[in-house]
Amino acid sequence: MTDTSLKWTSTTNQKQAWCVLPPCTCSYTYGKNAATHAPAPLPQYLLNTLDVINNLVTTKHDGFYTQQLATYNSINITLYEHRRDNLFWHSDDDKLFDTNSTRHYKSIASFSVGATRQFEFQHKHNNKLYDTTLTNGSVTIMEKATQQHFKHQIPPTTQIDHDFNNIRISFTFRHISTNNHEHDCPTRQI
């Protein structure tokens, strides 16, 4: 992925870009001790994907959830270029997203493109492990309180994916509530 409009931040484990719907200007610090990602306006070519994910999350739930439209307004893009690239155990409990809320729009949706990878969950209290396989085109939704009870990771892999040359891109969709925008963000004042 060579989109020069994105502001890529490199770590030893992957590259990330943070995109927001204008007029939002909120930066994002991924994890408690990580680098801060400068925002880039959501590229035009991702607007349709944003609409599809918002519609999918809104309509694929039972009656309790279908009453509220999913309104994701930001995307964290993570590029895994090598089999060793990974994302360590963590919870997405960042204040910017208020994911501990019981409101439906506080869910996180992740769209996987490229190489197949394992996605592992560990319960925070009893340490029980769960895993699922993320394949090309899969969508994973972590509902409301998932971050309260579980941590998750994308471990390195030894599998060779010839179809995608081991490259995987994750588009993680999130909702920033009006009150959670940074104080100088124009979206907070709207």
**Domain residue extents for the chain:** 15-189
**Mean pLDDT, rounded, for 53-69:** 65
What is the architecture of the domain spanning 15-189? Sandwich (2.60)
Average pLDDT over residues 81-104: 77
pLDDT at position 164 is 94
The identity of residue 136, as a single letter, is: N
pLDDT at 57 over 90: no
Express as a percent the part of the chain with pLDDT over 70.
Answer: 85
Amino acid, res. 179: N
Model confidence pLDDT, tens digit, residues 144-186: 778 889 999 999 999 999 999 999 999 999 988 888 888 899 9
Helices (H), the chain: 44-59, 63-66, 146-149, 186-189
